[in-house]
Amino acid sequence: MPINYQSKIIMDKPNVQFVPDTLFSVGPLNFSTGHLAMFVIVILISVVLVSIASRAKLKPSRAQLALEAVLVWFLEKVEKSFSNKKVARRIFPLIMTMFFVILVSNLFSILPFVDALTFGDGVPLLRAPTSDVSMTLALGIFSVVLSHVIAFIKSPLGHLSNYFTIMPVFKAKNGGEFGQALFDFFLHLYDIIGEMAKIVSISFRLFGNIFSGVAMAAVFGFLAPYIIPMPFNVIGIFSGCIQAVVFSLLALQFLSSPLASVEGNE
């Protein structure tokens, strides 16, 4: 009798999807379940934060205390990484927005009502947006491009000369210096690739963490639906919080370092 290699696990796989389901499309643009979840999250964050902020008092409530603790922790980090306090105050809301959006997106799947909402053949209506690579890639591209725009506005030539160090080539007095300058020029061109690698590393770090949580939940829900997935959910919540902090701190790092190098050139 031939052995059946196609075991049950291979035959019917757990439902792990890389691309979220499409709700409807307008021309070439697909409106996916991740987009819908993003809308819900933005409304949720706005309502909660505005309601806490509008009731802010000198004698704070518990929610206000918690929020202020988070804000102060981040404010310290932001003010440390920028030399100019005014710039730090302008960047701070952006960092906090990133943090709250990513935090709530990461923890979105543990909200009680999320799994119950379905459409079609039991396809979940809401999907954690950060488990879709387009969302994290967009955030990564945004933060890296913004950092260069800020540095470029601050000092256009100073910023470009960090990547195209052509001037020492012309200033070289002898052959040795010329060779060194030419070598430096090509070495600094590699920094451009480094900037692109930043986008990939920051966005795939977030995507990988959250997607692995989703996939882990799907696999364990398939193999052993009760009790056993619990510790993995705890790890998922923990890593969701950590990744939100890590993403916003790295975005802060990306935003401040080109500006610092431009200021150092002056």
Instruction: Kindly list the residues in this chain that would bind other proteins in the complex (CB under 8 A).
Output: 5, 10, 13, 16-18, 201, 204-205, 207-209, 211-212, 215, 239, 242-243, 245-246, 249-250
Tokens 């910023």 sit on residue: 159
Closer residue to other proteins (CB): 131 or 147: 131
Q: Which is nearer to other proteins, 165 or 211 (CB)?
A: 211
Nearest residue (CB) to other proteins, 165 versus 247? 247
CA distances from 89 to 107, 109, 123 (A): 28, 32, 43
Which tokens sit at 11? 């035959």
Minimum distance from CB of 39 to other proteins (Å)? Answer: 26
Amino acid (1-letter code) at residue 221 = G
Q: Give SS3 for 260.
A: helix
Nearest distance, CB of residue 183 and other proteins, angstroms: 30
Task: Give dist(CA 237, CA 215) in Å, integer.
Answer: 14
Rounded Cα distance, 173 and 94, in Å: 47
Q: Which of 206, 182, 183, 202 is nearest to 194 (CA)?
A: 202
CB nearer to other proteins: pick between 56 and 223: 223
Name the residue nearer to other proteins (CB basis): 169 or 245.
245
Closest CA to 216 of 192, 240, 198, 200: 240
State in angstroms the smallest separation of the CB of 185 from other proteins. 31
Comparison of 147 and 243: residue with beta carbon closer to other proteins: 243
**Residue 107: CB minimum distance to other proteins, A:** 16
Write out the two tokens for 203. 């966005």
Structure tokens, 28: 């070439």
CB of 21 to other proteins, least distance (A): 15
